[in-house]
Amino acid sequence: MTLTPEEQLAETVRVQGARVLATLIRTLGSLQLAEDAVQDAVVAALQTWPRDGIPDDPRAWLTVTARHKAYDALRREAARPGKELAATAGAALVAPDLAPEVLEMVEPESVVRDDQLRLIFTCCHPALAREAQVALALRTLAGLDAGAIARGFLVPEATMAKRLVRARQKIAQARIPYRVPGDAELPGRLASVLAVVHLIATESHAPSAGDQVTRVDLEAEAVRLARLVNELMPGEPEVLSLLALLLFTAARRPARADAAGDPVPLAGQDRSVWDHAAIAEASGLLAEAVRRSGGVAGPYQLQAHLSACHAVAPTYAATDWDRIVGLYDLLLRLAANPAVALNRAVAVGERDGPAAGLAALDAITAMARSHLWHAARAEALRRLGDTGQAREALRQAVELAPTAPERRLLSRRLDEMPPP
Amino acid sequence: MAVYAALLYMPEGSDWMTPEVREEHRVFGAAAAETIRGAVALYPTGSATTITIAGGAAGDVLVTDGPYAEAKEILIGLYLLEAADLDEAIGLAARIPTAWRGKVELRPVAPVGSRPF
């Protein structure tokens, strides 16, 4: 996909703005103040860059501009009677050093990276609700605005804006720290970070409504965040595994939708258009995760192995279904999950035939409201020759499908089903 | 530094005045003395009286027996803890005996200028 010059410019502003924000939060001690300043600088960039061209060092331009904006805001606040700032922005606010040379100083890349890692852990702090963690990560680390995040989560923009305001208030008032946790807390805190990144990725390739088959930007952001965490915490097996999992999934992107934008199921995908460079990179990362995990596979490693099975299979039929069923069994042992049980049942059907698959599907009781469960049952019933029941299952799947492309796909299958 | 109120909740009907529980709080109080800015232990909810005035400040004072809200978990006391940030406060709260006998809710105390009272 090629970006137009306007999109290129907007992308640069967004990505660099997010990096500037991480550093500004540390120097200002206030998320709200830093966000407002960066927002002002982003607006200034979008006004002047199209006219004057993108500066040689966009981050430096945004850093200095944002710092001046923050300085102006602080001066205005200080001039106001009662100094309400301390109450509104939280007690964590530290007076910034206002010397002119400090305003013009631009931090080296290494400092920006450390600041972003701190910010990741702040956004994913367990004292924040998971939905707030995800929203904050996308707002502050990916630089997406409240409207874009709201569309991603299918909530009204005002709801998302309110969610972000509440999260910022909690960070300021409860003083959620801006630092990388110590060794003792790290495993638990890292799990929270990985869950947030994974959620962003799953939302990107399985949007629960709307007309897009793939939300390219969110998937790319999730990969970028996973890369960042992997770069800053090298050798963590679950970080390596999550990055591998995201790359395996992203590699299938070119085959996931047809020309009309409708989803193409794995069985029907053209494997020659998969991104084989990404698959090779993911395989290398997964191998390293296996080496470093000492024989104990975490949930992301198991999921990465599952993705790897599909990535290396020459065809859908030639997939190693036995290994896939075994991996799902291990995943289910870590945590009961109806969606995992559904995928396992589909794999059982491929390995042992449609009757065994249908029995495994019918054993899952929690999925009666899922279009995926009805669609899987329809496929098993069709293979068993029971087209009457298969049609009925497909009709329910169409009714429950949350997005228009999925409805179209299932309706087409219903049309193609031979009459009973 | 910031001050957090650690609000202590126990299941209704539990006895938090036993020598064993008191001893646990004494041990915590001694170990965390430098961070404790205040502590309050409350008598059981059977001793509570709830006051409200209907119809504005000039209305009738309504006095009822018992706690404001009937709940499965009741407030039994609180500590005021001084900590640099939430992580430090969580570390302190995890050492309060109520953390394993019930639940501890951490609430940041608003700075003086912004308090409503």
What's the Cα-to-Cα distance from A381 to each of A365, A366, A378, B36, rounded to whole Å? 18, 20, 5, 67
Q: Which residues of B touch A173 (CB under 8 A)?
A: 108, 110
C-beta of residue A243 within 8 angstroms of C-beta of residue A230: yes
> How far apart, in Å, are the Cα atoms of A96 and each of A29, A71, A79, A82, A107?
8, 8, 16, 19, 15
Which H/E stretch holds residue B75? strand B73-83
**B90, A175: Cβ pair inside 8 Å?**
no
Q: For residue B113, which residues of chain A lie inside 8 Å, CB to CB?
A: 83, 86-87
Residue A272 lies inside a defined structural domain of this protein: no
Is residue A417 included in any domain, yes or no? yes
CB B36 within 8 A of CB B29: yes
Minimal CA separation from B18 to chain A, in Å: 32
Q: Which residues in chain A land under pLDDT 50?
A: 85-95, 208, 214, 216
Domain range enclosing A66: 1-94
Q: Which residues of B touch A192 (CB under 8 A)?
A: none
DSSP string, A303-315: HHHHHHHHHH-SS
Domain boundary, last residue among A63, A94, A125: A94
Q: A138: which DSSP letter?
A: I
Residue A8 has a pLDDT of 85
CA distance B85 to chain A (A): 5
pLDDT of residue A94: 44
> Mutation test of the interface with chain A: which of B4, B114, B115, choosing the one with the most A Cβ atoms within 10 A?
B114
A140 touches A225 (CB < 8 A): no
Number of H helices, E strands in chain B: 3, 6
Mutation choice for B interface testing from A173, A176, A179, A183 by most B CBs within 10 A: A173
- Averaged over successive runs of 10 residues, the pLDDT of chain B (117 residues) comes to 95 89 95 96 91 90 88 93 96 96 96 64
Q: Between B84, B90, B113, which is nearest A86 by CB?
A: B113
Strand B61-65 to strand B49-53: parallel, antiparallel, or no bridges (unpaired)? antiparallel
Q: What is the pLDDT of residue B115?
A: 56
Q: Closest Cα to residue A379, out of A329, A404, A342?
A: A342
Give A173 to chain B, closest Cα distance, Å: 6
**What's at B31, amino acid-wise?**
A
Tell me how many domains chain A contains: 2
Residues 6+ apart with CB under 8 A from B26: none
The pLDDT, as a whole number, for residue A215 is 52
Q: Residue A179: which of A118, A124, A92 has the closest Cα?
A: A118
With an 8 Å Cβ cutoff, is B2 touching chain A? Answer: yes
Decide if B80 contacts B37 (C-beta within 8 A): yes
B61: left (phi over 0), alpha (psi -120 to 50) or beta: beta
Integer Cα distance of A133 and A197 in angstroms: 10
For chain B, the domains span: 2-112
Q: Per the domain annotation, does A70 fall within a domain?
A: yes
- C-alpha span between A318 and A320 (Å, rounded): 6
- Residue B52, H or E segment: strand B49-53
Radius of gyration of chain A (CA): 24
Boundary (domain end) residue, out of A72, A94, A116: A94
What CATH number has the domain bearing residue A380?
A: 1.25.40
CATH topology of domain B2-112: Alpha-Beta Plaits (3.30.70)
Final residue in a domain of this structure, among A94, A128, A153: A94
For residue A228, is it within any domain?
no
Beta carbons within 10 angstroms of residue A282's beta carbon:
26
CB contact under 8 A, A91 and B111: yes
The pLDDT of residue A210 is 56
Question: Nearest C-alpha of chain B: how many angstroms from A28?
Answer: 16
Please say whether the beta carbons of A83 and A95 come within 8 A: no
What pLDDT score does A293 carry?
Answer: 94
CA distance A174 to chain B (A): 5
Give residue A418's Cα distance to chain centre: 40
* Among candidate residues A366, A405, A360, A403, the one with its CA nearest the CA of residue A379: A360
Distance from C-alpha of A172 to C-alpha of A35, rounded to nearest angstrom: 13
Instruction: Report the distance separating Cα A230 and Cα A234, nearest Å.
Output: 5
Contact A87 B90 (CB under 8 A): no
